[in-house]
Structure 1
Amino acid sequence: MVILAVESSCDETSVAVVRDGKEVLSHIILSQIDIHAVFGGVVPEIASRNHVVHITRVFDKAITDANIKIDDIDLVAVTKGPGLIGSLLVGINAATTFAFAHQKPIIGVNHLVGHIYAANIEHDIKFPALALLVSGGHTELIYMKEHMDFRLLGTTKDDAVGEAYDKVARTLGLSYPGGPIVDQLASQGKDTYDLPRPFLDRTEYNFSFSGLKSAVINLVHNAQQRNEAINIPNMCASFQASVLDVIIEKTKLAATNYNVSQIIVAGGVAANKGLRNRIFNEIPEKEIIIPSMEFCTDNAAMIGAAAYHQYLLKGALPNYLLGGDSTLSIEDQ
């Protein structure tokens, strides 16, 4: 099955061609990072306008690079949510127009499901599985009994982990996106600042990072008022140590309580080198799979990977009436 997949939930315009949910024939990502860096974050209106400008040529390049004809495409898949509604609708309108014009079946895919199935491109998900989904907008622990079966165990009560990274980076005067920079500097520093570990209830799986973010902001502001220098690598190392202590402990707790066969780490923050190093070292008793760096951030290949299994179980939409949902839950398909 050859699937043309489209992803436009935030600021990446991406189209991929994926065969049988595994073989990535082409994978085009047009990033807007440089455009939004001046604002210190994604501006929704600017993101959606740039999708409109570029999405047609991204479609063309994905099909050309895959060395296929339009007749070879069996299914069109597009992210339907969650995400920025303006950005989502650009991808949905482009995908449904393409599908209708060429009389191809179409399905809408949950963006979060896509992140999880990014790990299935190069690995095989084994059930029961636990997915740790960490990104700029989400921090969730999800139990999977089988393909396309999701139970949300815990989520963030406030800031997502990637959002906290970006806000801490901004406080320290670092550029956007802040996550990779904080991760890099953390490897050069030491955990010398006394930051809290926001475990909440140690017997359950929810997260909270707003208090940790505020603790960093207060430390930095107090130091500035006293004309004291902040050791930025040490602050990054301290912040990251606090985040990872919480994430890894709760992941290990859920993996043990649900006796899972495998842990999947997915989402943009799955590219974090500190997280990758520690989770393998601290949960050695479980098999852990993580997508390659290119499949961690928002991309269409992951949508194609998820679409294959979704189509096998549920088939395509009966028509081309597909809408977007900016707050779509992992449990809603």
Structure 2
Amino acid sequence: MAAVGGVVVGVALGTVVGRVMTKLDDPVFSVVISFLAPVAIYLPAELLGLSGVLATVAAGIVLGRNAARNMSSEVRIAGQATWQVLLFLINGAAFILIGLQLRTVLAGLGDRPAAELIGLAVAVSLTVIFVRIAWVYPGAYLPRVLSAGIRERETAPPLRNVFIVSWAGMRGVVSLAAALALPLNVPQRDLLVFLTFAVILATLVGQGLTLPLLIHKLGVVAEGGQAHEEAHVRVAAADAALATLMQLAEKWPGHLELIDTLRAQYAHRAQHLDEERHEGPETEAEQELLEHREIRRAVIDEEREAIIRLRDAGAVNDEVFRAVERDLDLEELRTEA
């Protein structure tokens, strides 16, 4: 009941926060709201005797799902950059703080022989690794055996690719955080935490360091599935833009020059993306697209140098310079898309 109630509260509060963020235009204030929202959702759920964790997760799913409509592009760009930095810092700090707990954990193991601890660590680590391998293979092939629809939509992946996926089961902060979250009165808690340390070490160091070698030895290469899907989505977006431009031409007959320019740009983009989707990335169309990006990048670089010269000469103030520089930065990012 507490779990279901937590999800309901999370969905409700996530919807409210999303509505609030639609009214905000200041990216800094919006990012601050995104920092405070998890706490503001977690605490009420806990006070009601519900699961604050599930409430926060549910709210995050709602907000993430609706971010494309609830947030402006400026807020999304600022938020993504800020959260990437924050998550990197939190992840690093978590490993440091967790490492500091190791001495306490070892002290709590008492007089257990080192050989016993090493044996348990090896046994548990191997079990985790082999259970993942045993799970990934059926997970990759069984749905295709049971569903004709999946067989028609997706080809079965090569065995070597599935093995790489099964081998890439590194454990990290989440696993250890779950172990450390165990109540202090749980029997053998220190041993459980120690074994979690061991699994993380074995998977991060053992599997992590051998993964590049295995990829090379097995000859696993990128299949371009994500690139193909991305090209498909971009073509759909370009087609939607072209359809809208047709309607706008009737609505704004006095701006046909701009509409024709935009139409030519989107048609050119859609053509290249469609060729890439059907012929693959290693085509003349892809090479031409790369050359176009290089040309646009060279133009933007020269624009940037021009405004830098104006700033250095004292012809513009810093605020104006930053505003124009930001536009050029966004345009450069757009050329990489």
Note whether the superposition's TM-score is higher than 0.5. Answer: no
Larger Rg: 2
Q: TM-score, with normalisation over the residues of structure 1?
A: 0.26
Determine which structure has the larger helix proportion and give its number: 2
Q: TM-score, with normalisation over the residues of structure 2?
A: 0.26
* Larger RCO, structure (CA 8 Å, separation 6 or more): 1
